[in-house]
Amino acid sequence: MAKEIAVIVPAWNEAECIEENILALDGFLGSNFSSHEIIISEDGSTDGTDRIAGSLSARSSNIIHLHSDARLGKGKAMTNAILASGAKNIFLMDADFPAGLSCIPRMTGLLEGSELVLGSRFKKGSAAERSLMRAFASISYNVLVRLLFRTGVRDHQCGVKAMRSSLKDVVLEMRKSGFFWDTELIVKARQRGLRITEVPIAWRERRVGASKISVFKEAYRMGKDAITLWYKLNWMKQPFPSA
């Protein structure tokens, strides 16, 4: 029988926080859902995260560890985990849990009326603790994506989102393996006419371990990916598969 929910946690070099956070998540899901699974999609870690994730999986049947020896990229790690899940609903959350756990039942509860529910750091009612540099880069990127694709979405890069398992058909069409993956998912879901709901969340930057992202380097990369995708859709006229 399919589990009620799968929470997917992409992890690369998260040894400082992965054990504590996954155990807390396992307890929270057990108290709020009839059945659950946690998929740690561990992506070529070099700091012992793989050993910790393997130990957690051995201790609990609710915890699944997907390991890659080579670095695949966050997007590819999430794709592999989504396709491996057998749950009815899927929730994505970064390993440092930037939005806390209470958003999980709140957002999955909205899947009755939407195929994809996005956490937003920019929608009215949100509260985001972010550096000025990160906020500027994120706002600039989101403005660009809204202009190019008319998605109606304010935050295309938030790592917190819920989806129905039916979105596996969209995920199968994903091409990007890096941080543009989130935007590609939204654009392709919108192109298929799927219902997308965006909800405000409380967000804080990581407090355990250093960020592994070079903000402006990734912003440049994602901006380039966005323009490339727009070109393919509008000039090369590459069709999306039917839903």
Question: Where would I find the H helices in 95-166?
Answer: 103-108, 132-149
Residue 164 is which amino acid?
Answer: R
pLDDT over 70 percentage in the chain: 92
Q: What is the pLDDT of residues 56-77, one digit of tens each?
A: 999 999 999 999 999 998 899 9
123-137 exposure pattern, b = at least 16 Cβ within 10 A, e = fewer: beebebeeeeebeeb
pLDDT value at residue 132: 81
pLDDT over 90 percentage in the chain: 71
Residue among 175, 18, 153 nearest 94 (CA): 18
CA-to-CA distance for 105 and 117, rounded, in angstroms? 12
> H or E stretch including 39?
strand 36-43
CA-to-CA distance for 12 and 71, rounded, in angstroms? 9
Residue 115 is which amino acid?
Answer: E
Residue 49 lies in a domain: yes
Residue 52 is which amino acid?
Answer: I
Average pLDDT, the chain: 89
Higher per-residue pLDDT: 176 or 226: 226
Q: What is the pLDDT of residues 177-199, one digit of tens each?
A: 788 999 999 999 999 999 999 99
Residue 242 lies in a domain: no
Q: Match 């695949």 to its residue by tokens.
A: 72
Cα 153–Cα 154–Cα 158 angle in degrees, nearest 5: 95
Residue 178 lies in a domain: yes
pLDDT value at residue 237: 59
Number of structural domains in the chain:
1
**In terms of residue numbers, what domain contains 144?**
5-234
Confidence of residue 211 (pLDDT cuts 50, 70, 90): low
Q: What is the pLDDT of residues 114-167, one digit of tens each?
A: 999 999 999 999 988 877 888 888 888 899 999 999 999 999 999 999 999 999
CA-to-CA distance for 184 and 240, rounded, in angstroms? 12
pLDDT value at residue 152: 92
Residue 126 lies in a domain: yes
pLDDT value at residue 53: 97
3 state SS of 50: helix
CATH number at residue 78: 3.90.550.10
Q: Match 């596996």 to its residue by tokens.
A: 168
Confidence of residue 80 (pLDDT cuts 50, 70, 90): very high
Residue 239 lies in a domain: no
Residue 220 lies in a domain: yes
pLDDT value at residue 59: 96
Residue 19 is which amino acid?
Answer: E
Confidence of residue 214 (pLDDT cuts 50, 70, 90): low
Residue 240 lies in a domain: no
> H or E stretch including 52?
helix 49-59
Whole-structure pTM value: 0.89
pLDDT value at residue 225: 86
CA-to-CA distance for 204 and 202, rounded, in angstroms? 7
Residue 107 lies in a domain: yes
pLDDT value at residue 216: 62
